[in-house]
Amino acid sequence: MRKRIPKILVTGGAGFIGSAFVRLLVKNGISPVVVDKLTYAGDLKRLEEVMGKFKFYKTDICSKKGIEAVFAKEKPAVAVHFAAESHVDRSIHDATPFVETNIKGTQVLLDASRKHNIKKFILISTDEVYGEIANGRFNENSPIKPNSPYAASKAAADLLVQAYIRTNNFPAIIIRPSNNYGPWQYPEKLIPLAILRILGDGKVPVYGKGLNVREWLYVDDCVRGIMMIMRKGKIGETYNLGSACESKNIDTIKLLLKTLGVGHDRFEFVKDRLGHDIRYSLNSRKIAKGLDWKPGVKLSQGLKLTVAWSLKHKTWLKSKLGDINKLYNK
Ligand SMILES: NC(=O)c1ccc[n+]([C@@H]2O[C@H](COP(=O)([O-])OP(=O)(O)OC[C@H]3O[C@@H](n4cnc5c(N)ncnc54)[C@H](O)[C@@H]3O)[C@@H](O)[C@H]2O)c1
């Protein structure tokens, strides 16, 4: 007899990482249910190649009524929760949607999941909940000490899930990935913003002196890790998901400019981001040892793949230019 595949609900499935996860599920013969509000960051074009292979609800996760209707109809066994306001700079301008979506929205999902006896709830948290670290690496037991309003709202969601696990024996797993990059990333984030600026003959803005260190994880590696944890991770546990590939922003940009075939004169230092975390770094031994996952794409290779994709999808990237110029007052 064929094993029945549990129904999987993916929130934020029209976003950058969520859509990569949906595409991976479909490749594995799974047709998920996708819930997404389609904010400025959501775009169903990311799912064009798997159209018809998933069910879509344009629903706000903060809407108790809307989420209840989806759960009552679909009765998912597993929920993978990506939906979030995700850009630090926007959270500095206005934290309101971050508190709403990242905290309240998560609570609405947790309550619907409890009511409908979900078997597994996966929260996509972030390495930013730990705050910055000058030396060493954060492990899953390191204290949570977020710095930006974005990170604080994600930390609140992370703690809320921990509270439901402890109080209600709620069957959840928390995943904390490091900085992702790759195809379909909204061009407000460092790497696609840099590509967009170069495509527009502009200069790449680099905060401060470009000394902030990020741990770069290619999006396909990230969603493969999430899939692995979804299948084999232990309920109640938290997993860091990092590449161990650290790079200063200035070095990342220089490597990207080289990949794009343009000179080093194509970036400019700009006023630093307020409260800018100097370094994020994860110890990801728990997933590497326990679940046998390791990243496959090095930064140089990932940038080549991202640039090749971007050149093929110039029109999509450029369609976001008006919004990006508004964000950065150009
Ligand atoms: N991008 C990264 O480097 C990174 C790293 C670690 C963790 N994360 C986390 O991974 C998740 C996905 O990140 P991303 O980069 O794909 O984000 P994204 O901004 O590209 O996508 C977010 C998606 O959520 C949807 N959404 C926003 N508010 C919603 C609401 N109220 N109801 C329903 N849908 C809503 C948007 O329409 C969009 O499709 C987030 O939870 C983020 O915090 C991201």
Ligand 1 mutation pick, 33, 82, 191, max ligand atoms within 8 A of CB: 82
121 CA to centre of ligand 1 in angstroms: 16
Neighbouring CB atoms inside 10 A of 59's CB total 19
The whole-chain average pLDDT of the chain stands at 96
Q: Between the CA of residue 316 and those of 74, 187, 309, 313, 319, what are the distances in Å?
A: 32, 10, 11, 5, 5
**Overall number of domains in the chain:** 2
Q: Is pLDDT above 90 for 264?
A: no
Q: Is pLDDT above 70 for 2?
A: no
19 CA to centre of ligand 1 in angstroms: 10
CB 46 within 8 A of CB 19: yes
Query: What is the mean predicted confidence (pLDDT) over 213-228?
Result: 97
**From CA 36, how far away is CA 50, in angstroms rounded?**
16
**Nearest by Cα to 32 from 104, 103, 81, 72:** 81
Query: What is the mean predicted confidence (pLDDT) over 230-236?
Result: 97
Domain of residue 110: give its range: 8-181+218-241
- Angle between helical axes of 149-168 and 106-115 (0-180°, round to 10): 20
Q: Is pLDDT above 60 for 91?
A: yes
Residue 44 lies in a domain: yes
Q: List active site positions.
A: 127-128, 150
Closest ligand 1 atom, CA of 150?
43
**pLDDT digits 0-9 by tens, 51-83:** 999 999 999 999 999 999 999 999 999 999 999
pLDDT value of position 3 = 65
pLDDT value of position 201 = 86
pLDDT value of position 330 = 60
Domain with 234 in it: what CATH number?
3.40.50.720
Residue 285 lies in a domain: no
**From CA 135, how far away is CA 140, in angstroms rounded?**
16
Kindly state the tokens that stand for 140: 């899953």
Residue 91 lies in a domain: yes
Residue 173 lies in a domain: yes
Residue 306 lies in a domain: yes
**From CA 130, how far away is CA 144, in angstroms rounded?**
4
Same domain, 199 and 64: no
Confidence of residue 29 (pLDDT cuts 50, 70, 90): very high
Same domain, 29 and 144: yes
Kindly state the tokens that stand for 306: 């991202």
Helix %, strand %, coil % of the chain (to 5): 45, 15, 40
Same domain, 143 and 194: no
Output the 3-class SS for 236-287. CCEEEECCCCEEEHHHHHHHHHHHHCCCHHHEEEECCCCCCCCECCECCHHH
**Least confident span in 41-45, 235-239, 272-276:** 272-276
CB 36 within 8 A of CB 42: yes
140 CA to centre of ligand 1 in angstroms: 22
Residue 290 lies in a domain: no
Same domain, 165 and 258: no
Residue 330 lies in a domain: no
Same domain, 85 and 231: yes
Residue 198 lies in a domain: yes
Closest ligand 1 atom, CA of 177?
6
Task: Report the DSSP beta bridge partners of residue 181.
Answer: 218
Same domain, 165 and 223: yes
pLDDT value of position 1 = 56
pLDDT value of position 5 = 77
pLDDT value of position 292 = 87
Same domain, 45 and 142: yes
pTM of the predicted model as reported, rounded to 2 decimal places: 0.97
- Among protein residues, the one with the nearest Cα to ligand 1's atom 12 is 82
List residues near ligand 1 (CB under 6 A). Answer: 11-12, 14-18, 36-39, 41-42, 60-62, 82-86, 101, 105, 124, 126, 154, 177, 179-180, 186
Same domain, 59 and 204: no
pLDDT value of position 43 = 98
**pLDDT digits 0-9 by tens, 101-129:** 999 999 999 999 999 999 999 999 999 99
CB 123 within 8 A of CB 158: yes
